[in-house]
Amino acid sequence: MNHESLPLAGKRALITGSSNGIGEAIARAFAAAGAMCIIHGRDREKVERVAMDVGGESVLGDLAERGSPARIVAELAARGGLDILVNNAGFEEHSTVADLAADDYARVLEVNLVAPAALMSLCLPLLRRGTDPSIINITSIHETVPVSGNGAYASAKAGLASLTRTAAVELGPEGIRVNTIAPGAIKTEMNRELIEAVGAEKFEQWIPMGRVGVPEEVADVAVFLASRAARYITGSSMVVDGGYSNHLVRYGEPR
């Protein structure tokens, strides 16, 4: 995608979990489209490296800690405004429903749902003063497509998708758009072990487009949603999965 055709010049964007993976790709794409990016993560070295690469700023915080969103937003408010919020940070805790510990489930919900909800609320005063303000929440195809052993993550992402639609209704009159991007199998550090364990060749068979996606393909959609090109889109979910979610159930050749 030619990002010059979707300029974000003059925009300030906070992308959580942007020191690697999809978040980093979104930050690099936003910067290429003219935005000033605030890079967030827990590892200072990684965060500052990406911030330097994209000519942006950095902010540290562990979203598993309840007070972290408020500290992050207070720091941002002291520096300037905000036009775009991307809730990307997340993690998975693999366990069946029968074996899922309450504390583990609570931490998954804290990072993947509670913290994004808090950031949406806390950032509103900044976004209301922004230019064409937009919120993008990164969910997953598993918000609607179940997979055994990943119920905690899937339920958190489903909750975030539902919250996104509600926020779109509530904030639409103020001109603040709220959308989600639901990635499928994407080559990230979080997914690397799973892809290797299952076998990349199996994903290539399951995904209609014949390959696992890359973070840049999610980032291109984020640039579109944050731009004026998507000015009449809110409360929507953009699925970026190569058709994977439509073909998870596969049958043998008919006899």
Active site residues: 153
- Determine the Cα–Cα distance for residues 215 and 231; give it in Å rounded to an integer: 24
Partners of 95 in the β-ladder = 150
Encoding tokens for residue 197? 């364990």
Residue 50, classified by CB atoms within 10 Å of its CB into exposed (0-12), middle (13-18) or buried (19+), is buried
Residue reference for tokens 């603040």: 176
In angstroms, the CA 203 to CA 131 distance is: 41
Residue with tokens 């200072």: 44
Residue 24 β-bridge partners: none
Helix axes 115-128, 68-79, angle to 10 degrees: 20
In this structure, what DSSP letter does residue 39 have?
Answer: E
